[in-house]
Amino acid sequence: MSVLLPYIKRKIHFIFDLIYKRVILIGRIFKLNLYLMWPKTLYIEITNLCNANCRMCPRHDLNRQEEHMDTNLYKKIIDEASAWFYKPKIHLVFLGEPLLHPDFIKLVIYAKSKGLVVSTISNGYAMNNEYAQALIESGLDEITFSLDSLSKKIYEQIRIGLDFDIVQKNIHNLLRLKKELNSKTPEVQISMVIQDLNRHEKDDFIKYWIDKVKGVYFQYEFKDFEDGGRRKINNNINKIISERRKSCYYLDEMMVIYSSGQVTVCPADDFAEMLVGDSKLEKLLDIWRGDKYKNLRRKHMEGEYKRIKKCANCDYWRGYNVTKEEVEIGKRKLIKDANELCENYRLKK
Ligand code: SF4
């Protein structure tokens, strides 16, 4: 029975998740202000410090204090989230390199001890052999490495301040250690932010990584990428937004907690423009079900996007709603967003 228990729990969670998605869909169709009673995902910015200076990162303009999240605050967040009926997925990243948090491994172990699924995104530079072993033993479920090129020259032009050889060595070392320790976790994904410098490498990048990792993930680039970071939207995208605009799923499903403890509503809000609460002072569920959140959801349901400064020119919401066309690449399936100006692919085994 104890062997079956995790399987049964996963199945129950899966069915519950399915029902939740339908509820949200019905809410969208009938313009009802429905949202999940609990967020599905918590982004926790355990640090906003970084060891890189990537050319496309909005962190260049960070207007918040640079800090690691206080461990006691982190535990408060995890204690609350793990007590919910619906356990959210914990994503230990926002702006900053998570592995720089001095207690990163302990933070993962704590969340895992509370039965939560934990993932992160890293540049991999700080993950030496010892760190890699500790990561595997921590029980971390998933890690995505941001690795934008197969070429040292191009990589170091994009991921400024990092050393391509060290990062490659570290990732391969983690994959080797996983095999040696016969560990299924963390599942490893590799991501690439497509831009002019690396666009020509995309196919080779897939070929190189697809058999080595769980998935290869491509993030989009905007045309005016070099002018001010990936959050900036150009005029053509604005046109598409006005034609097809739909209510944003982030407001219904996830919550972002900055290293300070302040809470915002989505991963597009790098600069704290849509604060809805403070996790140091309030319970997360009170924030989630509070008036500030409700007002934002209502404006979206009523199509009043332009009345929210940050949402007016944002197209993050499209990630959920765009038409998907499926293409076979060898035995693996490529799910491609039908999107004229940006690319967002996810390769799945
Ligand atoms: S539309 Fe953009 S800015 Fe507004 S809530 Fe969605 S992701 Fe955030």
Euclidean distance between CA atoms 299 and 293, whole angstroms: 10
Six-digit token pair at 252? Answer: 């219904």
Confidence of residue 30 (pLDDT cuts 50, 70, 90): low
Euclidean distance between CA atoms 108 and 328, whole angstroms: 36
Q: Which of 300, 317, 320 to mutate to test the pocket of ligand 1 (most atoms within 8 A of CB)?
A: 317
Q: Is a pLDDT exceeding 80 seen at residue 263?
A: yes
Euclidean distance between CA atoms 26 and 79, whole angstroms: 31
Q: Is the CB of 251 under 6 A from ligand 1?
A: yes
Ligand 1 centroid–CA 59 distance in Å is 18
Element (H, E) at 80: helix 71-82
Instruction: Using a pLDDT cut of 90, give the percent of the chain over it.
Output: 48
* More confident site: 333 or 133: 133
Euclidean distance between CA atoms 18 and 165, whole angstroms: 43
The string of pLDDT tens digits covering residues 66-90 is 999 999 999 999 999 999 988 899 9
> Which of 121, 152, 147 lies closest to 46, judged by CA?
121
Confidence of residue 58 (pLDDT cuts 50, 70, 90): confident
Euclidean distance between CA atoms 262 and 276, whole angstroms: 8
Ligand 1 centroid–CA 251 distance in Å is 7
Per-residue model confidence (pLDDT) at position 227: 38
Ligand 1 centroid–CA 11 distance in Å is 31
**265 touches 255 (CB < 8 A):** yes
Six-digit token pair at 96? Answer: 């900053």
The string of pLDDT tens digits covering residues 113-140 is 999 999 999 999 999 999 999 999 999 9
Name the residue with the closest Cα to ligand 1, atom 6: 248
Ligand 1 centroid–CA 184 distance in Å is 34
Which pTM value belongs to this model?
0.83
Q: Is the CB of 265 under 6 A from ligand 1?
A: yes
- The DSSP-derived string for 296-318 is HHHHHHTT-GGGSHHHHT--TTH
* More confident site: 265 or 250: 265
CA angle centred on 64, ends 58 and 66, rounded to 5° = 90
Mean pLDDT taken over the chain: 81
Per-residue model confidence (pLDDT) at position 2: 62
Q: Is the CB of 314 under 6 A from ligand 1?
A: yes
Beta-bridge mates of residue 332? 329
Give CA separation, 332 vs 210, 217, 287, in Å: 9, 13, 41
Ligand 1 centroid–CA 57 distance in Å is 18
Looking at ligand 1, which atom is closest to the CA of residue 266?
Answer: 8
Ligand 1 centroid–CA 170 distance in Å is 35
Euclidean distance between CA atoms 226 and 210, whole angstroms: 29
Polymer length of the chain: 349
- The DSSP-derived string for 234-254 is -HHHHHHHHHH----THHHHE
- The DSSP-derived string for 150-183 is S-HHHHHHHSTT--HHHHHHHHHHHHHHHHHTT-
Q: Is a pLDDT exceeding 60 seen at residue 311?
A: yes
Per-residue model confidence (pLDDT) at position 347: 42
